[in-house]
Structure 1
Amino acid sequence: MGIIGSAIKPFKATAFQAGKDFFDVTEKDLEGRWSIFFFYPADFTFVCPTELQDLGEQYNHLQSLGVDVYAVSTDTHFSHKAWHDTSEKIGGIQYAFLGDQLHTLSKNFNVLREDSGLADRATFVVDPDGVIQIMEITCEGVGRNASELVRKIKAAQYVRENPGQVCPAAWEEGAETLAPSLDLVGKI
C-alpha cells in the first residue's frame, strides 16, 4: 500500500462530538498532535459499537498522551449523533465522529469498499507532522483491541522522541529498547 511514512492528504469533514455543536475538521487541525483515524463500516451495526466503546475506555489515557481520536464511517454526522443518542455503548463516547459520506477520507486512506460505499475496519495513527506511522486493517468480523493500539502509540512516540532507538516485539513502556547497529546483526 505504501501508506506508512506518507503525509495525510487534505480533507474536510463534519464532526459530531458529545456536548459540542457540529464542527469541521481538516488536516490543519491535526498539526502538532498525534491523531487516530478509527474507520469502521457503519453506524447501528454489531462489532463496531463494541470496538468503539473499547476505544472510548482508553480516550482519557490517549488524551493524556497528546492523542486525538476520530472515529470515521461513511455515515453522516447526523447519523453519528442519532447513534450516540440511542445506543448505550455509543452514548458514553467522548471522542469525535467524522462523517465521510463523500468518501474523501476513506479514499485518502485507501479503505473504501467501492462495491458497498462502506469503509474497511481500519486504524491509522498520524504523528504531529501529519505523517502516517501506524496502520491496521482487519476483516469485517474481527474487532480491534484499544489496549494494543495504546501500546503501539507509546512505542511510536518513544521512537520519535529517541532517535536511533527501536522498540522490539511486545515492547511495553519502560522496557528495554534496541539501538540498531552492525554489532547486533545475527545476535538477536
Structure 2
Amino acid sequence: MGIVGSTIKPFQNTAFQQGKDFFDVTETDIAGKWAVFFFYPADFTFVCPTELEDLGEQYETLQGMGVEVFGVSTDTHFSHKAWHDTSDKIGKIPYAFLGDQNHKLTNSFGVLREESGLADRATFVVDPDGVIQLVEITSEGVGRNAKELVRKIKAAQYVRAHPGQVCPAKWEEGGETLAPSLDLVGKL
C-alpha cells in the first residue's frame, strides 16, 4: 500500500527543543500546517548529525514557508537533550526532536527496523490536511540534502495552491509548470 496520499495517524510524543522545557506534540499541533517528520536511526551516531545540522540550516527558510520540522528517532526525549547538550552540531539545531521509544510513531509511518528497534533514514512531508505528500527513504549510509527537500516542499505547496498544474523535474520556484492534458501527450 502506498503511503503518499494517506493521512497520518494520531500520535502523541514528548519533544525536546532548544530553549524549551519538554512538551508533548500530537497530530492536532500540526493540523492546518505543513510539517516535516525527519526520521533518523539514532542519537550519538555519524551520518545523522551531519544531515540534522544541514536541515537546521534550512529551518528558518522552512519556517518562512509555514513548515514545522520534527527530528524523530526511537531514542527518548532525554537522550535528545543529552545529545543537544554535548554535540556542537546538534547543540545549534532550533527545531524539535520527538522521542519515540515505544516505536508507535515510527511504526505508524512504516519506517521501524524491527530487528534493531531503530528508524530508517526517512523524510515525510505532511500537508495542512494531514496528508503525506512526499516521502524519501535512504539506506543507512546515505545522508539527505535539506536544500533539495526545500525545493520539493515548494513544489508541493505550488501544486496545492494551483490545482491543475504540476511541477516538472528540476522545477524551481518561479519556473514553468505544466497543465496536464491530452494536448501534451507525446509532446514532452
Query: If the TM-score is normalised by the length of the shorter chain, which range does it land in?
Result: over 0.9
How far the C-alpha of 1:83 sits from its partner, in A, is 0.2
Distance apart, 1:5 and its partner CA? 0.3
Which residue matches 1:160?
160
Q: Match of 1:46?
A: 46
d(CA) in 1 for partners of 2:8 and 2:110? 12
| Alpha-carbon distance, 1:98 to partner | 0.1
Match of 1:55 in 2: 55
**Take 1:147 and 1:181, find their aligned partners in 2: how far apart are those partners?**
31
Q: Deviations over 1:82-106 (max 9, x none)?
A: 0000000000000000000000111
Q: In the alignment, residue 106 of structure 2 is paired with which amino acid? A: S
State the Cα distance separating 1:175 from its structure 2 match: 0.2
Percentage of matched positions with identical amino acids: 80
Q: Distance in 2 between matches of 1:94 and 1:85?
A: 13
How much does 1:56 deviate?
0.1
Distance 2:60 2:2 in 1: 31
Query: Which consecutive residues of structure 1, in runs of 5 or more, have no partner in the other structure?
Result: none
Instruction: Return the alpha-carbon distance in structure 1 between the equivalents of residues 86 and 14 of structure 2.
Output: 20
Gaps of 5+ in 2: none
* Distance in 1 (alpha carbons) for counterparts of 2:100 and 2:182: 47
Pairwise CA distance, 1:157: 0.1
What residue number does 2:126 align with?
126
Equivalence for 2:97: 97
* Residue-by-residue CA offset, 1:22-59 (whole Å, 9 max, x unaligned): 00000111111100000000000000000000000000
Q: Secondary structure at the match of 2:72?
A: strand
What is the number of equivalent residue pairs in this alignment? Answer: 188
Task: Indicate yes or no: 2:44 matched with 1:36.
Answer: no
Match for residue 65 of structure 1? 65
Counterpart Cα distance in 2 of 1:169 and 1:176 = 11
TM-score by length of 1: 0.99
